[in-house]
Amino acid sequence: MKEATYDIVVKNGLVIDPYQDIHEVMDLAISNGKIVDVRKGINESLAGKVIDASGLIVTPGIIDIHVHCCYNILNIGIDPESCCLEKGCTTVLDAGSTGELNFRGFRKYVIERSRTRILALLNIESLGMIEYGSQGQKWPKLIMEYEELFINVENTVKVIEDNRDVILGIKWAHHGLTGLRLAREAADRAKCILMAENHLEPETIKYLKKGDIVTHSFHGLKWMGNPYDGILNEDGNVKPEFYDAIKRGVIIDVGHGAASFSWKVAEKAFSQGVKPDTISTDLHVSSVKGPVYDMPTTMSKFLLLGMSLEEVIRASTSKPAEVIGMLGEIGTLKPDARADVTIFKLEEGKFQYTDCMKESRIGKQKLTPVKVIKDGRIII
Ligand SMILES: [Zn+2]
């Protein structure tokens, strides 16, 4: 039988694909933008291009389900190409940067022109996240004043229906329970997922159903005068409402951001058995220069917290793919999946990582992306 020819063969990398239960040194073959084979001993002489991944880790293209990449549309947005794709994230979910009034520009001028695969949640607020100034400074008073005026459920549902290929759901930020109720109504009417920020707890989490997402899960902020907002109550225990939510299939997401990740809160939650389903950055104009930087740095922080490499990669590949309904097409290196591949170097040493409370910890490992392939095309 004649052997196939390949566009790219990745040789001798430690392939970690939690979806297929693979954690082994293997080769990977790519043709026509798809994965065509994963096994030992693929004949590289049949490949147009050979990548030697000896000593490196080969994973499905990383998926970050909380970013703000409405670049040049709203001030909050970062450039998805340099901040996400070139850092290993072949697919991102924009978490409600725009709303029904400004989504179209985001779609036309960013989503359709980027090599990064960008999907979106529509903000329940019609104007999306307009509260950032041109220097990244926040104007919370502006949004608080107008929060309830700028929501139109009817139009929100219509924009979702017109853009089903890109919009996967609704995002509710932290602007009042009226907004949350309307977000729930819009998500139910549009039959889509709802992502809510972990604020005004334990009320917010009660609104979330199976497949919905709570983000900023490990924030350590006081919020609206409530010192115990978020996942923990005053005695440091996980609020019972969160266990109920986990039981009914609500997704626990990281959403690190500039103010939404605390080592102490994460450690307390971990010690009570609550770990994130999905690791995500909340990359935006005020988090990209630190403390977030990028997805590999965020993943490395969860290695520091004691998650295994396998768990960290699952929470950044197959699990987010499942959450956004694309598992099999992305999130795995299974033959016939899109050829999205991230190749990492895992360095051992002493690395400083900082949370949003300005507390630093020293980790022993650091993931650095060295090669990114999206739809069979080499990006870096
Ligand atoms: Zn965000």
CATH number at residue 121: 3.20.20.140
CA of 254 to the centre of ligand 1 (A): 10
Distance (Å, whole) CA 287 – CA 299: 15
The CATH code of the domain that includes 35 is 2.30.40.10
| Residue found by looking up tokens 């400004």 in the block | 102
Please check whether residue 357 lies inside any domain of the structure. no
pLDDT of residue 133: 74
Q: How far is the CA of 286 from the centre of ligand 1 (A)?
A: 11
Domain count along the chain? 2
How far does residue 176's CA lie from ligand 1's centre (Å)? 16
Q: Which domain holds residue 275?
A: 65-323
pLDDT of residue 1: 46
Distance 237 CA to ligand 1 centre (A): 25
> Alpha helix locations (H) across the chain?
80-83, 103-109, 140-146, 153-162, 177-190, 203-206, 240-247, 263-271, 295-304, 309-314, 318-323
How many whole angstroms separate alpha carbon 43 and alpha carbon 191? 47
- CA–centroid distance, 255 to ligand 1, in Å, is 7
Asked whether 196 and 212 are in contact (CB, 8 A), the reply is yes
Find the 230 Cα to ligand 1 centroid distance in Å. Answer: 15
Contact in structure between 19 and 3 (CB atoms under 8 Å): no
> Cα separation of 148 and 116, whole Å?
33
Amino acid code (one letter) for 32: N
pLDDT single digits (tens) 145-177: 554 558 999 999 999 999 999 999 999 998 789
Rounded CA-CA distance 52/321 in Å is 27
CA of 349 to the centre of ligand 1 (A): 31
Q: What is the CA radius of gyration of the chain?
A: 20
Tokens of 252: 């626990």
Task: Dump pLDDT digits (tens) for 209-240.
Answer: 999 999 999 999 887 778 889 999 999 999 99
How far, in Å, is the centroid of ligand 1 from the Cα of 252? 14
The Å distance, Cα 204 to ligand 1 centre, comes to 16
Backbone phi, psi, residue 184, to 5°: -60, -45
Same domain, 36 and 169: no
Task: Tell me, yes or no, whether 82 and 110 share the same domain.
Answer: yes
Residue 328 in domain:
no
Contact call for residues 351 and 359 (beta carbons, < 8 A): no
For ligand 1, the distance from its centroid to the CA atom of residue 138, given in whole angstroms, is 13
- Residues within 5 A (CB) of ion ligand 1: 95, 282
pLDDT digits over 129-142, tens only? 987 777 777 765 55
